[in-house]
Structure 1
Amino acid sequence: MEPMKLDDKKNKPNKNFLLATVISCNLGSFASGILLTWTSPVLPKLNNATNVDSNPLGEPINLIQESWIGSCLALGAIFGPLLAGFTADRIGRKNTLVYCAGLPFLISLLILAFAKTPFLYYVARFLGGFGIGNLYTALPMYFGEISEASIRGAVSSSMNVFICLGELYAYAVGPYVSIMLFCLSCAVFPLAFILTFFFFPDSPYYLLAKDKMRTAEKSLMRLRNRTKSGIQQELKMMQRNVEEEAVNRGSLRDIFKSKGLRKALLICLGLVSFQQFSGITVVQFYVTNIFEATGSSLSPDVSAIIVGIVQLLASFSTPILVDRLGRKLLFLMSAIGMVISEVPLGIYFYLKDGGTDVSTLGWLPVLSLVAYIITYNLGFGPLPWTVMGEVFPSNVKSTASMITASVCWALGFLVANLFPIIAEAMGKGGTFWLFSGFCVLAAIFTALFLVETKGKSLQEIQKELNK
C-alpha cells in the first residue's frame, strides 16, 4: 500500500514549477513595461537646454524628434503580431518569446544605453516595440495553453501586473540616474528572461500539434508536477482539441463570411480603438512631461511614481471584479470614469495656458491622472483582450488576434506621434478634452454593440452575435 500512497501524492497538483514558469515569462512582461514608459523619465533629459551634460545627444531635441522617439515603439509593435502569429505555429511559443521578444528587448535597451544620435533612438525604440508586439501576441497564447482551467484567469492577468511593475520601475529609477545607467539596469530584465526561460518547457498544445507526443507528455508532467499516469486525461483532452483545430482551421476570409464573426471583429476593433483614443499611450509615454507642464509644486518625477503605484494597485482590481460585475458594466464604468477624470485635467491646462493663476490647484492634475489610471485599468486597459479571447472560436482566434493587435498599435503610433504636435496647436487642455470626447463615444459604443460574455459558452456567445 505504501507505493500507492506515494504515487497518489505525486499525482496531486503542485503549482510550484508552473509558478516559476510564469515568473520567468513575466520578466519579459516587466521589460515591456519599462519600454512602454521609458520616454517618461528620459524625454525631459533629452529636452534639457540648461544641463546638456545629462543629454547624450549634446543638445536638446526638437518637437519632431520628440514625437518620433515617443512613437517609434508603437510603430514597431504594429509588425510584431504579424510575425508572432506566424512563428508561434512554426518555431513554437517558447522560441517566439525568446528570439522575437526577449532578444529585441535586450538589443533595444543596449542601443539606447549607448546611442548618440536621434536616429539610433528611433531604431532602438522600433526594435523594442517589435518585441512588445510579439510578446503581447505569443505570451497570452502560451499562458492559456500551460494553465489549468481553474487558474487560467489568474495566470493570464499576472502579465498586466508585471507590466505595471516594469512601468513603476521606469518611473522610480529613470529620473535619478543617467540615461546610460538607467538603460543598462533595464537590460538586466530581458537578459534574465532569456537565460531563465531556456529551462522551462514549450506549450504542450504546440508540441502535440507538431506530433511530438513524448515531448508534450514530458512538458505537461513538469508543468503539473505529476507522474505520467496523472496527466493522461488532460493530455488526451489536449490531443482532441488540437485535432479539432487542425480540421477546422479558419482564415481571414472565414471571418468575413460569418455575420457573427464580422460583428465580433467590429467589437474588438472598436474596443482597442477607443483604448488608444482615450489617451493612454500619451499618459504612458509623456507622464513626466505632462506633470512638468502643470507647474505643480509636487515634483513631476514624484507625481509619475504616484501614478505608477496607483496603476500597479489598480491592475489587481479587474481580475477580482470581472466575473462578478461582467464585462459590459466594467467597460461602461471605465469610459465614464475616464471622461470625468480628463475633463478637469483639460480645464486645468486651459486656465493655466490662458494666464490664470492655478497655484492653488496643483493637486488637480495629480488627482485627475490617478483617477484616469484607476478607471482605465478597470475596463479599457485589460478587458479588450479578454473579450477578444471570448468572442472568436479557436480556429480563427490567431488571425483575429493579429488583426486586432496590429490595429491597436497602429492607432497607438498615430496618437503618440501626433500628441506633441496637436498639444502645440490646440494646447494640452484642448487635447485632453479631445480624448474625453472619444471616451464619451466609447461609452455609447459599449452600450450599443458590446455583448455580455460573462458566464456564457462560446456557442451562446456566437448565437448572440449572429442575431
Structure 2
Amino acid sequence: MDTNGNNYFLFFSVISVNLLSFSANAGFSWTSPFLPKLNGHVDPEKNPIPYEISVVEESWITTMMNIGALCGPLCTGQISRKIGKKMTLVLFSIPVLFSNIILIFANTVWHFYTSRFLLGLGVGCVYCIIPAYVAEISDVPNRGKMGLSTSLINLISHISVVSIGPYVTIKTFAYLSLIPTILFIVILIPFIPESPYYFVSRNRMSEAENALKKFRQTSNVKLELIEISNSVNETKIEGSFYDIFRTRVVLKGLVVTVGLIAAQQVCGAQPLNAYQQEIFRSTSSNIPSEISVMIVGIFQFIPSILIVFIVDKVGRKILLLLSYFGLLLSLITIGIYFYFKEQNFNVDSIFWVPIASSCLFMASFKLGAGPVAWSYVGEVFPSNLQIYMSSIVTFAMFLFGIIVTFIFPIMFTYIGTAWTFWIFGVCTATSIIFIIIKVPEIRGKSFVDIQMILKK
C-alpha cells in the first residue's frame, strides 16, 4: 500500500469525483457576478429577462438552490444503499447538467428558479456522498489530504465564477459550466471503481479486492481488506431507527458534525459569498467591486493549499480553532468599518479595510471552518450508517443556510451592516466555545479508532 502520497490513481479518482463538486459548488458563487446583471446594476443589456428583477426575486433565486439541496439528502441515503455511492453521484449529476441547459435558454425568472432548484438537488447529493466516498477510497496516511482536496477544487470553482462571470453573459457561462459535469460522467462511469466499503457491506469481496488494488496500485491489499471487513462488522449497529440514535457513537458523532456545520453557516460565510460583489459596491473603496471579489478569491489559494500539507501534522481541532479566531477578528474589523461609515465618518483613508477583512475571513474559512468540518462528516460515523448520517448533516447545513441567507438582507436593512457583522461575530465566538468543549481530535486515526474515541 502506498503511504507516501504518490498514488496517482487515487489522486486522479478524487479529482475526477470532485468535477461534480466543481460544477455544483459554482452555484454558491454564481449569484455574486450574475445577480447584478439581473437586477440592472451592472450591464443591463446582458439581462435575459426583459425587466429588472426585484429584491424579493433576488432572494428567491439565491435561496432556491438551498431549497433544492434540502430535498437531495432526503433520498440520497436509500439510493446509494441500493446502487452505491459512485452511481448515485452519476445519477445526481443529471439535474446539475439540466440546470445549466435551462440557463442557456432562460428568459423568465421562473427559469432561474427551476435551474437553481435542480442545481440544489445535485449540491445536496455532493455534500452527502463525496466526503464519505473520498474517505473510504483513501488510505489513512492520505485521507486528510484527499478529503481537503475538495475544498481546493471548490475554491478553483469559486475563482472561475467570479473571474469569468462579470465579463460574459449568463448564456455563455452556462455553456462553459456544462464542461466539468460532462467530463465527470465520461470519466467516472468507465474508469473509477465503487468504494471498497460498499462492496464489503454487500459481501462482494472479490469486487472489493479489485477496487482496492486499483486505488492502492498494488496487489498486496489483503491486510487492508481484512481491516475494512472488521471495520464494517465492528461498527455495524442493529436495531430500529430510534435505537440507532440512542447509540453513543452515533449520537456524539451527530452532535459534533451538526455543531460544526451549524457553526460553518452562522458565521455568515454563505450569504457573504453570495452577496460579495454587492457588499463591496456599498463600501467607499475605489477598487471596482468585481476586482475586489477576484482578489479575495485568489487570496484564498494560500490557506487552501497550505491546509492540504499541514492537516495531518497539525491536527483538525487546532486548525478549526485558528480558523474561527480568524473569522471572529475579520467580522469585528469589518463591522467597525461599516459602523464608522454609517455614522458618517470619513472612511476614505481606510478604504482597504473591507477587502483586507474579507481576505482574512475567506482565508480563515478555507483554513478550517469549511474543509475540516466536512472531513469530520466523512470520518466519524460507522461505515454502514455513513450515508444516512451524512444526509442528516447535509440537510441541517442547507436548513441553516436557508435561514441565514434569507435573513441576511433583512438584517442589513433593519439593523445595519455593522450590527449584521457583529451578530455573526457573536455566533462565531459561540462556535469557538463549542469546538473547545465538544470536538475531538481525529488526526491519524482509523475508522475503528475514531469510533472508540466517540464511545468514551
What TM-score, normalized by structure 1, do the two folds share? 0.89
Partner amino acid, structure 1, of 2:198: Y
1:91 aligns with 83
State the Cα distance separating 1:305 from its structure 2 match. 0.9
Partner amino acid, structure 1, of 2:224: E
For residues 48-105 of structure 1, give each alpha carbon's deviation from its aligned partner in whole angstroms, at most 9, with x where no partner exists.
Answer: 15753211112211111111111111221122223222211111111111111x2121
Q: 1:325 to 1:56 in 2, by over 3 A?
A: same
Partner amino acid, structure 2, of 1:210: R
1:341 aligns with 330
Q: 1:223 to 1:258 in 2, by over 3 A?
A: closer
Instruction: Say yes or no: does 1:124 pair with 2:115.
Output: yes
1:135 aligns with 126
Q: Is the 8 A contact 1:345 1:432 kept in 2?
A: yes
1:144 aligns with 135
Q: Which moved more, 1:148-157 or 1:35-44?
A: 148-157
Q: 1:379 to 1:13 in 2, by over 3 A?
A: closer
For residues 147-196 of structure 1, give each alpha carbon's deviation from its aligned partner in whole angstroms, at most 9, with x where no partner exists.
Answer: 22332222221111111110110011000111110121112111111112
Equivalent in 53, 68, 72 of residue 76 of structure 1: 68
Equivalent in 191, 199, 210 of residue 202 of structure 2: 210
1:171 aligns with 162
Instruction: Say yes or no: does 1:373 pair with 2:365.
Output: no
Q: Is the 8 A contact 1:249 1:395 kept in 2?
A: no
How well do the aligned residues superpose, as a CA RMSD in angstroms? 2.7
- For residue 15 of structure 2, give the secondary structure of its aligned residue in structure 1: helix
Equivalent in 106, 121, 142 of residue 97 of structure 2: 106
Instruction: Say yes or no: does 1:234 pair with 2:236.
Output: no
Q: Is the 8 A contact 2:63 2:405 kept in 1?
A: yes
Distance in 1 separating the partners of 2:231 and 2:394:
25
Distance in 2 separating the partners of 1:256 and 1:50:
50
Q: Is the 8 A contact 1:63 1:421 kept in 2?
A: no
1:324 aligns with 313
State the Cα distance separating 1:277 from its structure 2 match. 0.6
Distance in 1 separating the partners of 2:386 and 2:17:
22
Equivalent in 243, 254, 263 of residue 274 of structure 1: 263
Distance in 1 separating the partners of 2:444 and 2:147:
18
Equivalent in 414, 428, 443 of residue 403 of structure 2: 414
2:372 aligns with 383
How many residue pairs get aligned? The number is: 454
State the Cα distance separating 1:127 from its structure 2 match. 1.2
1:355 aligns with 344
Distance in 2 separating the partners of 1:289 and 1:366:
13
Distance in 2 separating the partners of 1:58 and 1:442:
44
State the Cα distance separating 1:461 from its structure 2 match. 5.6
Q: 1:334 to 1:28 in 2, by over 3 A?
A: same
Q: Is the 8 A contact 1:334 1:380 kept in 2?
A: yes
Q: 1:90 to 1:379 in 2, by over 3 A?
A: same
State the Cα distance separating 1:14 from its structure 2 match. 7.5
Q: Which moved more, 1:38-47 or 1:257-266?
A: 257-266
Partner amino acid, structure 1, of 2:139: E
Distance in 1 separating the partners of 2:128 and 2:398:
12
Distance in 1 separating the partners of 2:230 and 2:250:
24
What TM-score, normalized by structure 2, do the two folds share? 0.91
Q: Is the 8 A contact 1:67 1:419 kept in 2?
A: no
Instruction: Say yes or no: does 1:30 pair with 2:22.
Output: yes
Instruction: Say yes or no: does 1:53 pair with 2:45.
Output: yes
Partner amino acid, structure 2, of 1:77: A
For residues 131-160 of structure 1, give each alpha carbon's deviation from its aligned partner in whole angstroms, at most 9, with x where no partner exists.
Answer: 011012111222222222332222221111
Q: Is the 8 A contact 1:13 1:224 kept in 2?
A: no
Partner amino acid, structure 1, of 2:182: L
Partner amino acid, structure 1, of 2:70: I
Q: Is the 8 A contact 1:14 1:225 kept in 2?
A: no
1:194 aligns with 185
Q: Is the 8 A contact 2:36 2:42 kept in 1?
A: no
1:9 aligns with none
Task: Indicate the percent of aligned positions where both proteins have the same amino acid.
Answer: 36
For residues 262-320 of structure 1, give each alpha carbon's deviation from its aligned partner in whole angstroms, at most 9, with x where no partner exists.
Answer: 34322322221121010110122111111111131111111111111122322123333
Q: 1:251 to 1:20 in 2, by over 3 A?
A: farther
For residues 389-429 of structure 1, give each alpha carbon's deviation from its aligned partner in whole angstroms, at most 9, with x where no partner exists.
Answer: 44433344333222211101110111112212221222222
Distance in 2 separating the partners of 1:317 and 1:240:
34
Q: Is the 8 A contact 2:135 2:379 kept in 1?
A: no
Partner amino acid, structure 2, of 1:123: T
Q: 1:14 to 1:333 in 2, by over 3 A?
A: closer
Equivalent in 56, 59, 64 of residue 64 of structure 1: 56
For residues 88-127 of structure 1, give each alpha carbon's deviation from its aligned partner in whole angstroms, at most 9, with x where no partner exists.
Answer: 1111111111111x21211111212321111221111111
1:182 aligns with 173
State the Cα distance separating 1:465 from its structure 2 match. 5.0
Distance in 2 separating the partners of 1:68 and 1:302:
26
Q: Is the 8 A contact 1:80 1:132 kept in 2?
A: yes
Q: Is the 8 A contact 1:331 1:378 kept in 2?
A: yes
Distance in 2 separating the partners of 1:223 and 1:392:
22
Distance in 2 separating the partners of 1:195 and 1:84:
22
TM alignment of 1:392-403, pairs within 5 A? 392-403=381-392
Gaps in structure 1 of 5+ consecutive residues:
1-11
Distance in 1 separating the partners of 2:197 and 2:217:
17
Q: Is the 8 A contact 2:144 2:312 kept in 1?
A: no
Partner amino acid, structure 1, of 2:347: V
Q: Is the 8 A contact 1:250 1:396 kept in 2?
A: no
Partner amino acid, structure 2, of 1:142: Y
Q: Is the 8 A contact 2:155 2:301 kept in 1?
A: yes
Distance in 2 separating the partners of 1:433 and 1:239:
49
Q: Which moved more, 1:383-392 or 1:177-186?
A: 383-392
- For residue 275 of structure 2, give the secondary structure of its aligned residue in structure 1: helix
Distance in 1 separating the partners of 2:263 and 2:314:
21
Distance in 2 separating the partners of 1:370 and 1:413:
24
